[in-house]
Amino acid sequence: MTPSPTNARPDLRLVDVSRRYGPVTAVDRVSLDVAPGEFVTLLGPSGCGKTTLLKCIAGFLPPSEGQVVLRDEVMNDVLPHLRNIGIVFQHYALFPHMTVADNVAFGLRMRKRARTAIAGRVQEMLRLVRLPGFADRYPHQLSGGQQQRVALARVLAVEPVLLLLDEPFGALDKKLRVEMQLEVKQLVALLGMTTIFVTHDQEEAMRMSDRVAIMHAGRIVQCAAPEVIYDRPCDLFVADFIGSSNLLDGRIRGTSAGRLRVEVAGVPLEVPCHASVRPAGEDVVVMVRPENLALSETWPSDRPAWAGVVSLALHTGPVMEYEVVVGETWRLRVSRPRMQVESARVWAKGDRVAVTVVDLKAVRIFHGDTAGATSVRSL
């Protein structure tokens, strides 16, 4: 179940939070509600303000403006150790001079729990993260994945209101990273933990989140479920940042019966009108995902097509990635699953092909500032 962001009481509410460093605005009027049990990711390139926002939530930085509200309580002036927010850092920040058990017990000791209760809870947490029998080890005796799990156990032991994950998988190699993503996701879901996850890795964000908040220049530009972000990016930045896309210069030729006619690389496409109607003659940028393009040898009779030459054919395992040169300057990225029956044909460099759009409903049109999105994109 994906919790709705409109629940009565969000666990975390950010109201117009800004953070400035002198003349630099690192976080710019960010508002966000996170429902109980929701997993929200702050995703953006480095320097977009996501880590600064995380520090504001945790209490390590006071916001310049706006409010951080945790379960109906304004937290702006509450010191970090009184917020009951758990954080897992990229390099885990385990206390090197303490055993695993002492690390996990640390938060409980700070809360002055009874000795026997602490011992029981530590055992329980170590079982939860599948590290029973590691109680007496020191952090340096553990692998990266094990340190990661100890860091999780340490944070979850105190039952925080909110869990913050600050690029926690960045230090792991790819295979382990995917395993840990799955493990953390399951653990967090099991405990119903409200979680904010910071990353610059879009695949990781898509795989783990209920909602993804794309940050750019200190602001949240779009916050939605992963499939919505992918299928209906709200602007060119998101379209370019998430997944790979063909961003092509186009020109509006007019509308008819709820359809927008747009000319792209000399070929007219009729796209369902999903946005405001634009005047004919306007320059726009047209986004077509590589998997939404198909290649064929014969000219299709039922739909418009570009004539092109395959200039690059790459194996990636499950998918073939092609680059097709159309006309003089246009390069289209096309990706086709290799096992798909009707397009089982694998193309080679130099093949002459017709390129068609599979699903016109999935084509997006943006206002044309073509400077940032040229039609020539190499693989």
| Binding region for other proteins (CB under 8 A) | 58-60, 79-87, 89, 91, 93-97, 106-107, 110-111, 138, 140, 154-155, 158
CB burial readout 212-244, b (16+ within 10 A) else e: bbbbbebbbbbbbebeebbeebbebbbbbbbbe
The least CB distance from residue 75 to other proteins, in Å, is 13
The least CB distance from residue 291 to other proteins, in Å, is 40
Task: Please identify, using beta-carbon distances, which residue of 13 and 83 lies nearer to other proteins.
Answer: 83
Task: Please identify, using beta-carbon distances, which residue of 87 and 373 lies nearer to other proteins.
Answer: 87
Residues with Cβ within 8 Å of 337's Cβ and at least 6 positions away in sequence, in order, are 318, 319, 320, 343
Chain CA centroid to CA 101, Å: 34
What tokens were used for 44?
A: 């953006």
The least CB distance from residue 97 to other proteins, in Å, is 5
**Whole-number Å distance between alpha carbons of 277 and 293:** 25
**Whole-number Å distance between alpha carbons of 9 and 64:** 25
Task: Please identify, using beta-carbon distances, which residue of 88 and 208 lies nearer to other proteins.
Answer: 88
Phi/psi for 65 (5° steps) reads -145, 165
Task: Please identify, using beta-carbon distances, which residue of 93 and 128 lies nearer to other proteins.
Answer: 93
The least CB distance from residue 28 to other proteins, in Å, is 22
Task: Please identify, using beta-carbon distances, which residue of 37 and 107 lies nearer to other proteins.
Answer: 107
**Whole-number Å distance between alpha carbons of 70 and 9:** 10
Angle (nearest 5°) at CA 230 between 289 and 249:
40
The least CB distance from residue 103 to other proteins, in Å, is 9
The least CB distance from residue 15 to other proteins, in Å, is 22
Task: Please identify, using beta-carbon distances, which residue of 168 and 308 lies nearer to other proteins.
Answer: 168
Answer whether 259's CB lies under 8 Å from 270's CB: yes
The least CB distance from residue 110 to other proteins, in Å, is 4
CB atoms within 10 A of CB 123: 14
The DSSP secondary-structure symbol of 136 reads: T
Written as one string, the DSSP assignment of 341-359 is STT-PPP-TT-EEEEEES-
Task: Please identify, using beta-carbon distances, which residue of 157 and 286 lies nearer to other proteins.
Answer: 157
The least CB distance from residue 350 to other proteins, in Å, is 52
What tokens were used for 53?
A: 């926002």
Answer whether 295's CB lies under 8 Å from 354's CB: yes
The least CB distance from residue 275 to other proteins, in Å, is 43
Q: In what order do the strands lie in the sheet with 65-70?
A: 24-34, 12-21, 65-70, 73-74
The least CB distance from residue 147 to other proteins, in Å, is 12
Task: Please identify, using beta-carbon distances, which residue of 89 and 251 lies nearer to other proteins.
Answer: 89
Task: Please identify, using beta-carbon distances, which residue of 154 and 216 lies nearer to other proteins.
Answer: 154
Task: Please identify, using beta-carbon distances, which residue of 92 and 230 lies nearer to other proteins.
Answer: 92
**Whole-number Å distance between alpha carbons of 80 and 76:** 10
Nearest to 69 by CA among 27, 32, 124, 107: 32
Q: What angle in degrees, to the nearest 10, is found between the helix axes of 144-156 and 115-128?
A: 140
